[in-house]
A and B are shown apart, each in its own frame.
Chain A
Amino acid sequence: MSERVTVRKTYKLFVGGKFPRSESGRSYLVQDSNVSLASRKDARDAVVAARAAVKGWAGATAYNRGQILYRVAEMLEGRREQFVALGVPGAEVDAATDRWVWYAGWSDKLAQVYGGANPVAGPYFNVSAPEPTGVVAVAAPEVPALLGLVSVVAPAIVTGNTVVVAASPTAPLAAVTLAEVLATSDLPGGVVNVLTGRLSETVPTLAAHMDVNAVDLTGVRDPELAAELEVKAAENLKRVLRPVPADHDWSADPGLRRMTALLETKTVWHPKGV
């Protein structure tokens, strides 16, 4: 008997909850697979999808968002071997799963830790609460392909932002596979959009896009490109997360910074009286 011929997977983009090819029709060979080479137009389409998802996702209850992020962890745990087969170390898959769990729990706690009542000197009720900034464009770290990606996406979306993420150009298979996890976790379409291909093609478009509220340059290695992107981001005063050093320890406690940098604090006043 001859050996069974395996069914191979096509690795495509993840935009608006669907898996389209690049509108440019291009792909590139990486990790022994043909992977979509996203164009500037794909980046713009992804922003449209992310913007459309903001209202529902930011408007969902914190409890609901936490449930969905926890569901992502459940799905990821179940697909552990699939990521290992792509070359992701088992310990990294475990750490990525745990990170989803950790961030899931923040959904209904951050507002209490990062907001609060302000004791103003007058007869006023005064309270500050964090809100999502909106659409966040992210350049994911090149390595570790899975833990790095989860560590930049989860803190952005747990508070109600939506994301367009440019995946690691050299190890995109984990990103596309993670997109399959997200697609089966009750995460509404458009909350996370994944672009594969060259950072130099997609990220400048995202950094300059006038309907993007924040840009996370974590994965941008070239300091000159990072500075250029910051200049583009200034056009509509995007919030900017700057690159991290190449030797950044992604297994360390992430702290609140990645969440708080993508939040707006809103303060509401009302007089007290009878």
Chain B
Amino acid sequence: MFEYAPAPESRSVVDLKPSYGLFVDGKFVDPADGGSLKSINPASEEVLAEIAEGGAQDVDRAVRAARRAYEKTWGRLPGRDRAKYLFRIARIIQERSRELAVLESLDNGKPIRESRDVDLPLVAAHFFYYAGWADKLPHAGFGADPQPLGVAAQVIPWNFPLLMLAWKIAPALAAGNTVVLKPAETTPLTALLFAEICQQADLPAGVVNIVTGAGETGRALVEHAGVDKVAFTGSTDVGRAIARSVAGSGKKLTLELGGKAANVVFDDAPVDQAVEGIVNGIFFNQGHVCCAGSRLLVQESVADQVLESLKRRMGQLRLGDPLDKNTDIGAINSAAQLTRIRELTEAGAAEGAQSWSPPCPLPERGFWFAPTIFTGVTQAHRIAREEIFGPVLSVLTFRTPAEAVEKANNTPYGLSAGIWTEKGSRILWMADRLRAGVVWANTFNKFDPTSPFGGYKESGYGREGGRHGLEAYLDV
């Protein structure tokens, strides 16, 4: 064994301003009626920048700018020209990807290894993918001349800030819409850097507007009478509230909400591979993943063996500085999220489940939570039913495939699921029966711009990615 030596990524590549305005109509402007918020580094609690909190007037200004751009420039541009702007943006993202990755890790707390190797490549790929659709919409299967909707209001979460921006903006623009996007209050910085990239690409003013703020700003945006489309990624509770608020308005709505995915391990699965998949399923991005494999369903006959391997593997996970290239588990995104994780894990213990974490010193400053598994979990326990959105795995067992299906589907959610077995026919049998929008067999947490992503049941509706992702932004 080698001695551990830190390998920190330099943050000098990031040039942060002390404060940022709203990005409206192609320019950074001060808020008219809003206040300000501070975005902090969750690994150190250091203030990174002050950002504007958009008020109702600011939202209105942004929606009007988007409407003007839709009517005067973007809506009239041929698809091939929209495509070229999107290709430009994709290229600039690639050129500035290290800067964006470091900034993402600073603002979000996720390990640089993930922001650099997962988030940023997917962000660029997403813009490339949808760029190519912009002049091919008549071939997308939605009729001969599918039309855009108009102005899209987009509200995104803090777990994959720039990736969720890409998932929202790329298809919207490719289809010919203009957008007003509200990033999460704790992770607005890469969206603001993206606004600079739009300027750098000479994207016409008003096509992309970024209004930073918290819940009230988002509410003003989705309820604004001037928007034609609402797209939201976040919690099921907020998604429900948005679905109620757009009722009767005629706004097209797509929602990508919570999950409580089952990761099902059969007795014939190769244990080492399955354990890697379990670890990736729940500890990737600190478990701040809506499709995280947060319920491990392991076949009873191999449960002891799998758990032993899993614990051994968890002992190897390195928690700490997100900018250290060795880091596996970074910081919890916010104090509020840490409180939520603690509250649910305390409920898990109180309800009788047994928790286990590897020896894992936590840094003194910042928000941290050690990787944790709960055994002795029943389906009635809160930790088996509610989305924890943290590095916490609930372990349940099953005996027969039918029982595995029953337990996996025993949730109001239906975003994703995992299957681990060497038997091909069993994979397909399971995949047919799991009520989830994405099924990973002998892998987990894989994403691609060509691959539709989205949920069944209370995990929301609509798909992002692939040809299906265009439908959310076309009047079809």
Contact = CB atoms under 8 A, between A and B. Distances in A.
A32 B7 CA distance: 85
Task: Classify the secondary structure of A's interface with B.
Answer: mixed
Interface stretch (A4-12, A41-49, A196-204, A261-269): A261-269
A230 interface: yes
Interface in A98-147: 113-114, 116, 118-122, 124, 126, 128, 133
A270 interface: yes
B412 interface: yes
Interface stretch (A69-77, A170-178, A233-241): A233-241
**Interface residues on chain B, size class:** 35 or more
Contact of B443 (A235, A267, A271): A271
A118 B446 contact: no
B451 A237 contact: no
B451 A118 contact: yes
A213 B457 contact: yes
A114 B141 CA distance: 8
A257 interface: yes
Given A128-B468, A266-B431, A271-B442, A113 B451 contact: no
B255 A237 contact: yes
A118 B453 CA distance: 12
Contacts, number: 104
Interface string A70-95: 00000000000000000000000000
Interface in A190-231: 213, 223-224, 226-228, 230-231
A237 B461 contact: yes
B448 A121 contact: yes
B400 to A, nearest CB: 17
B443 A264 contact: no
A255 interface: yes
B231 interface: no
Contacts of A266: 431, 436-439, 456
Contacts of A242: 250
Given A126-B451, A264-B437, A269-B440, A236 B458 contact: yes
Given A268-B441, A270-B427, A122 B448 contact: yes
Contacts of A255: 143
B476 A257 contact: yes
A264 B467 CA distance: 14
A223 B125 CA distance: 42
Interface in B364-417: 412, 414
A128 to B, nearest CB: 5
B281 to A, nearest CB: 13
Interface in B73-112: none
A118 B448 contact: yes
Contacts of B456: 133, 264, 266
A124 B239 contact: no
Given A235-B240, A236-B458, A237-B236, A226 B438 contact: no
Interface stretch (B241-249, B261-269, B314-322): B241-249
Q: Which of B239, B240, B438 has the most CB of A within 10 A?
A: B438
Given A268-B441, A270-B442, A121 B125 contact: yes
B448 A237 contact: no
Nearest to B241: A234
Contacts of A114: 141
B461 A270 contact: no
B454 interface: yes
B463 interface: yes
B441 A270 contact: yes
A120 B244 contact: no
A234 to B, nearest CB: 4
Contacts of A233: 243, 247
Contacts of B442: 270-271
Contact of A234 (B244, B452, B463): B244
Contacts of B31: none
B309 interface: no
Interface in A47-71: none
A264 B413 CA distance: 13
B204 interface: no
Q: Which of B412, B436, B466 has the most CB of A within 10 A?
A: B466
Contacts of A213: 457
B438 A267 contact: yes
Contacts of A236: 412, 457-458
Nearest to B418: A269
A124 B414 CA distance: 22
21 contacts: A113-B141, A116-B467, A118-B450, A126-B451, A213-B457, A230-B243, A231-B244, A234-B244, A234-B247, A235-B240, A236-B458, A237-B236, A237-B457, A265-B463, A266-B437, A267-B451, A267-B453, A268-B431, A268-B439, A269-B441, A270-B443
Query: What 9 A-B pairs have minimum CB-CB distances, sorted nearest first?
Result: A227-B248, A230-B247, A234-B243, A120-B448, A118-B450, A270-B441, A234-B244, A231-B247, A118-B451
Given A224-B248, A269-B441, 8 more contacts: A120-B446, A120-B450, A121-B448, A231-B247, A234-B240, A234-B247, A237-B255, A268-B438
